[in-house]
Chains A and B, each alone.
Chain A
Amino acid sequence: AQSVSQHNHHVILSEAASLELGCNYSYGGTVNLFWYVQYPGQHLQLLLKYFSGDPLVKGIKGFEAEFIKSKFSFNLRKPSVQWSDTAEYFCAVIGYGGSQGNLIFGKGTKLSVKP
């Protein structure tokens, strides 16, 4: 069965610090990978996605993620966080093989950025 692991439950950073949130998935076949963000009081929004091609994908608000197939990883990065990045971040995967698009989510990482 497909699963997604996010290594950090809660990350606390100061503004301008660099961010890396880990995500590993378990699925042997072709996958589509996503990072969603949920700002306080708001709904899930797509940050970025990887389907194929360049394994380094850029998303909104300066976020990027790198797909490393050999490590089954899709870590999220941002060189310099802002207070407004305070949110919960969810890694998700869709594996091919009959799936009609159901996203498998990780548990989420709560990011708190101190001003």
Chain B
Amino acid sequence: EPEVTQTPSHQVTQMGQEVILRCVPISNHLYFYWYRQILGQKVEFLVSFYNNEISEKSEIFDDQFSVERPDGSNFTLKIRSTKLEDSAMYFCASSVWASSDEQFFGPGTRLTVL
């Protein structure tokens, strides 16, 4: 069964450093998403992406965040200058369609900012 994959599973970085989290969505899916979950808190939407551009973003997704689909398979989330409060589990998801469709989630990348 096709699945969303994410690398790395755990990333440790120093405050102020740039990190890139990678995701490979399911191949025939058209919509891609990033969510994050700070320990003990809700899973929160960050951004959705369709047709090589951002469809929607939350207020969390400020200028230090960016997303890219550099090739036909990868979908990346970049955090330019990490802060302590960026420590969280980051989930990538994909769906065939938006809104009315099931989103398939990856296993997540645990980001720890020291």
Q: What is the interface of chain A, defined by CB distance below 8 A to chain B?
A: 32, 34, 36, 42-46, 49, 51, 90, 92, 94, 96, 98-108
Contact = CB atoms under 8 A, between A and B. Distances in A.
Contact of B91 (A44, A45, A104, A107): A44
Interface residues on B, range: 20 to 34
A49 B43 CA distance: 18
Nearest 4 CB-CB pairings of A with B: A101-B98, A100-B55, A102-B45, A44-B105
Nearest to B101: A101
Contacts of A43: 4, 91, 105-108
Contact of A100 (B4, B43, B56, B108): B56
B11 interface: no
Contacts of A98: 56
B99 interface: yes
B76 interface: no
Interface string B44-79: 110010100001101000000000000000000000
B61 to A, nearest CB: 11
A45 B91 CA distance: 12
B45 A100 contact: no
B105 A107 contact: no
A102 B48 contact: yes
A32 B55 contact: no
Contact of B41 (A42, A44, A49, A107): A107
9 contacts: A45-B105, A46-B102, A96-B99, A98-B56, A101-B99, A101-B103, A103-B33, A106-B42, A107-B41
Contacts of B95: 101
Contact of A99 (B4, B42, B56, B91): B56
B13 to A, nearest CB: 22
A34 B105 CA distance: 13
A104 B58 CA distance: 11
A105 B42 contact: yes
A97 to B, nearest CB: 10
B23 to A, nearest CB: 12
Nearest to B107: A43
